[in-house]
Amino acid sequence: MPRFATDIVVMPYEEFRDQVMSDDPATARRLVDSLYSGVGYILKNAFDRDWLRALIDRTYRWGLENPSSFHKMLDGCPDFHRSIDAEQSQNYSMHHVKQSFYFFPWNDDPLDIFEEVNRRWRVFKYLGGYPADAYERNLPSDGIIDRFQVVRYPAGGGALESHTDPLQNQKIVIGALMSERGIDYQRGGFYFASDSGDYIDCEPLLSVGDMLTGFPSVVHGVAPVDPDSELDWKSKQGRWFLGLYSNDSDTMPKRVTAQSLGNQFPAPQLPVNDVTNTVQTRGL
């Protein structure tokens, strides 16, 4: 399994989707080989920009209307949100500072996102070798569940340390950009560790509506967002991200979670030099 990113492919989401769903053996082999070799994909215009911008507003209002809480992923688990600071993150598998909003498919979809998101998510499940609708109707008692997560990495140091993700339930990392560096924040953002011993700053290639994907064993993280700003948990400022995860529920006796690698791969200071100096960008 790949440890480092070897290249970044930038291509239209619709082209990527059509290739995945074509059932062409040569295309399937090429895609799978590229992911196993450490290639990351940035898929342009996967979501409508205005829809994602409006989703930030809906999520923010929902957070104001519902108190912060925490619930294990058991049958009947409600949607909830919580702010995780540096001290609280010690209770998790890795260090992070973020405000997370968790939504589950057995609830009433308060932000009206399931249909729009599942249409994209099914493509990536199918790419990973699963039925396109895998886990969509699962409950925690079934063992594996889908979880929709809207995340704000707040200005003032929101971050996610270097890590790898589990791959027993999904074979690729999946997420969509809801905000944009240079507009909504000025520093920080998503990076891969590269095979050159450096880091790949993906943010110059990313715009609102783009999706980002790669193999879970490739080291990645989110460098601190505008670390010199004052952290305000009640603000909307920061980097917003839509993450799609098929998790072991809390009914599983030995849940597999992300592996922290922050000591081996300290977060870089972003932005760095032009990303094209580090990695080639091309179509597949």
| SS3 labels along 173-210 | EEEEECCCECCCECCCEEEEEECCCCEEECHHHCCCCC
- pLDDT value of residue 272: 58
> What's the CATH number where 27 sits?
2.60.120.620
Token digits for 261? 């690698």
Query: Cβ neighbours of residue 127 under 8 Å, at least 6 residues apart?
Result: 20, 31, 171, 172
What's the confidence (pLDDT) of residue 152?
98
Residue 152 lies in a domain: yes
| Contacting residues for 92 by C-beta, under 8 A, at least 6 apart | 84
- The verdict on residue 243 lying in a domain is yes
> Which single residue is written with the structure tokens 């340390």?
161
pLDDT value at position 87?
76
Residue-level pLDDT at 254: 87
Residue 1 within a domain = no
The answer to whether residues 261 and 164 touch, using CB atoms and an 8 Å cutoff, is yes
Burial class (CB in 10 A: 0-12, 13-18, 19+), 241: buried
220 in a structural domain? yes
Q: Per the domain annotation, does 105 fall within a domain?
A: yes
Residue 150 lies in a domain: yes
What is the C-alpha radius of gyration for the chain, rounded to an integer number of angstroms? 18
Cis peptide leading into residue 204 (ω within 30°):
no
Range of the domain at 109: 7-282
Specify burial of residue 247 (Cβ count, 10 A radius: 0-12, 13-18, 19+). Answer: buried
What integer pLDDT is reported at residue 276 of this predicted model?
43
Residue 85 has a pLDDT of 84
Q: What is the pLDDT of residue 41?
A: 97
Domain count, the chain: 1
Residue 235 pLDDT: 94
Residue 202 belongs to a domain: yes
- Identify the pLDDT of residue 91: 72
CA atoms within 13 A on the CB side of 202: 31
Task: Establish if 2 belongs to a structural domain.
Answer: no
pLDDT, residue 271, reads 85
pLDDT per residue, tens digit, the chain (284 aa), is 999 999 999 999 999 999 999 999 999 999 999 999 999 999 999 999 999 999 999 999 999 999 999 999 999 999 999 998 877 777 776 789 999 999 999 999 999 999 999 999 999 999 999 999 999 999 999 999 999 999 999 999 999 999 999 999 999 999 999 999 999 999 999 999 998 888 999 999 999 999 999 999 999 999 999 999 999 999 999 999 999 999 999 999 988 888 999 889 998 988 854 444 444 444 33
